[in-house]
């Protein structure tokens, strides 16, 4: 979701997936992205940045990004059918041919940096939703009945 309307907020609900908020303060536009493993592979964060450029003239260098709490590398183990699809995202890893742990927030950060967003303008919460049961909902921990968290951004 993207917006350039003053007073309007865009947001996403998550319970382990990665919430990503993008802000272009120069052109006054925002975006909210929900990135699970499929969306991460499809480059949804990159796609939001491209949509902001198309709609508002946003340049990657003008973006400030917040990557919110999500399931961390410590808790996110996937099977070989998913792990293998991340070889191009994590070329330094040689363990992606079987069950492996993934770092989805880092995968999204790398994609944004590759697009041209300055690394120093990307904030990562670094909080694992599964580990921090007192603070966050987690689909992996609680199952289908897990609550959801809302991450939102807007313009004033």
Q: Cα torsion for 127, 73, 133, 11, to the nearest 10°? A: 60
Of residues 16, 117, 110, 116, the one with CA closest to residue 68: 16
Number of domains in the chain: 1
Q: Is residue 153 part of a domain?
A: no
Give the integer Cα–Cα distance in Å for 86 and 131.
23
CATH code at 76? Answer: 3.60.140.10
Q: Is residue 156 part of a domain?
A: no
Q: Is residue 37 part of a domain?
A: yes
Give the integer Cα–Cα distance in Å for 72 and 135.
14
Among 22-36, 74-88, 117-131, 137-151, whose mean pLDDT is lowest?
137-151
CA atoms 88, 90, 92, 95: torsion sign: negative
Q: Which residue segment(s) compose the domain that 26 sits in?
A: 2-148
Q: Is residue 39 part of a domain?
A: yes
Residues 84-143 have pLDDT tens digits of 999 999 999 999 999 999 999 999 999 999 999 999 999 999 999 999 889 888 988 888
How is residue 117 annotated by DSSP? -
Note the pTM of the prediction, 2 decimals: 0.95
């Amino acid at each position: 979701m993207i917006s350039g309307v003053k007073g309007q907020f865009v947001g996403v609900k998550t319970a382990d997936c990665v919430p990503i908020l993008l802000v272009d303060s120069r052109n006054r536009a925002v975006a909210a992205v929900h990135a699970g493993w499929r969306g991460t592979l499809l480059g949804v964060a990159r796609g939001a940045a491209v949509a902001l450029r198309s709609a508002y003239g946003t340049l990657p260098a003008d973006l400030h990004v917040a990557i919110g709490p999500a399931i961390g590398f410590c808790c996110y183990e996937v099977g070989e059918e998913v792990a293998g699809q991340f070889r191009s995202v994590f070329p330094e890893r040689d363990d992606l041919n079987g069950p492996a742990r993934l770092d989805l927030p880092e995968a999204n950060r790398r994609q944004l940096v590759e697009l041209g967003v300055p690394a120093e303008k990307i904030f990562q919460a670094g909080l694992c939703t599964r580990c921090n049961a007192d603070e966050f909902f987690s689909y992996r921990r609680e199952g289908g009945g897990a609550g959801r968290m809302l991450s939102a951004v807007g313009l004033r």
